Amino acid sequence: MAGADRVEVLAFDVFGTVVDWYGSIAREVDALGLDVDGGEFALAWRAGYKPAMQRVQSGELGWTHLDDLHRGILDQLLERFAITSLSEADKRHLNRVWHRLDPWPDAVEGLTRLKRRFTLCTLSNGNLGLLTNMAKRAGLPWDCILSAEVFRQYKPHPDTYLGVADVFDVPPAAVMMVAAHQEDLDSARCHGLRTAYIERPHEFGMAASKDVSGALDNDLHAASLVGLAERLGC
């Protein structure tokens, strides 16, 4: 990639790019024996994510951790799916499934290789505690954990992308946003960051394959984080 020598920091989206939220949640919900389809439940939980964040972004809610937004969505889903058997402790534990998401098979190896050359950080809407617990459990070798909580803004607010450059005291073009979501990359590029698209065609499950063929307006495009490491000479 032309200009790769000027990139110093790789900033990663996490949910869907580094970890498999759909499979992890579906497996855990199925294991609870709630008489609901775990995959359907996972998709419904994720579908509530953007509307919940919009309530914060619009000013309807004050600043709210993603953990708390997830809990509000969960309470709605338990009512919708007519699940009444969970105690309050059970609900708290289930809500923290987002802390226990499994990495994609290529993630740890790819990040480890990339870390030899670049500074690696998260740039996620997840809160700091969530991202830290996830990294510790999954062995994700971040150099730094940054999140919407640090900037008090959810992506795609400019403060999140430009905040990474500010934290590391580098120009925006020295930061590369790595994500499996083109809208995230489009926003990062608008604010001067470099971008790398990672294919995750089964982010939403095997039955809902995601079209990854159109992500062409990026500096790099790779099928995995190991592939990204290879493209960057790591």
CATH number at 32 reads 1.10.150.240
Q: Could you tell me which of 51, 11, 178, 30 has the C-alpha nearest to residue 97?
A: 30
Same-domain check for residues 95 and 107:
no
Distance CA 137, CA 120 (A): 18
Residues 15 and 88 in one domain: no
Confidence band, pLDDT 50/70/90 cuts, at residue 212: confident
Structural domain boundaries, residue 42: 22-99
Same domain, residue pair 95 and 109: no
**61 Cβ contact partners less than 8 Å away, ≥ 6 residues apart:** 55
What whole-number percentage of the chain has pLDDT above 90? 88
For residue 103, the one-letter residue type is: P
Same structural domain, 14 and 108:
yes
| Among 62, 84, 99, residue at a domain's last position | 99
Rounded to the nearest 5 degrees, what angle is found at the Cα of 23, between the Cα atoms of 19 and 29?
125
Structure token pair of residue 181 = 């979501």
Final residue of a domain: which of 54, 73, 99?
Answer: 99
Full-prediction pTM beyond 0.85? yes
CATH number for 157: 3.40.50.1000
pLDDT of amino acid 210: 83
Token couple for 193: 């960051």
Residue 35 sits in the same domain as residue 62: yes
pLDDT tens digits along 81-131? 999 999 999 999 999 999 999 999 999 999 999 999 999 999 999 999 999
pLDDT of the residue at 40: 96
Domain C-terminal end among 43, 70, 99 = 99
Q: Does residue 9 have a pLDDT over 90?
A: yes
Whether 79 and 120 share a structural domain: no
Both 90 and 177 in a single domain? no
As for how many domains the chain has, the answer is 2
**Residue 226: Cβ within 10 Å count:** 21
- Asked if 76 and 109 sit in the same domain, the reply is no
Domain check: are 62 and 93 in the same one? yes
Closest CA to 166 of 51, 9, 41, 20: 9
**pLDDT score of 230 more than 90:** yes
- Residue 214 reports pLDDT greater than 80: no
Whether omega before 51 lies within 30 degrees of 0, making that bond cis, reads no
Nearest alpha-carbon partner for 19 in 88, 97, 120: 97
Q: How many CB atoms lie within 10 A of CB 79?
A: 10
Three-state SS for 84-144 is CCCCHHHHHHHHHHHHCCEECCCHHHHHHHHHCCCEEEEEECCCHHHHHHHHHHHCCCCCE
d(CA 36, CA 223): 32
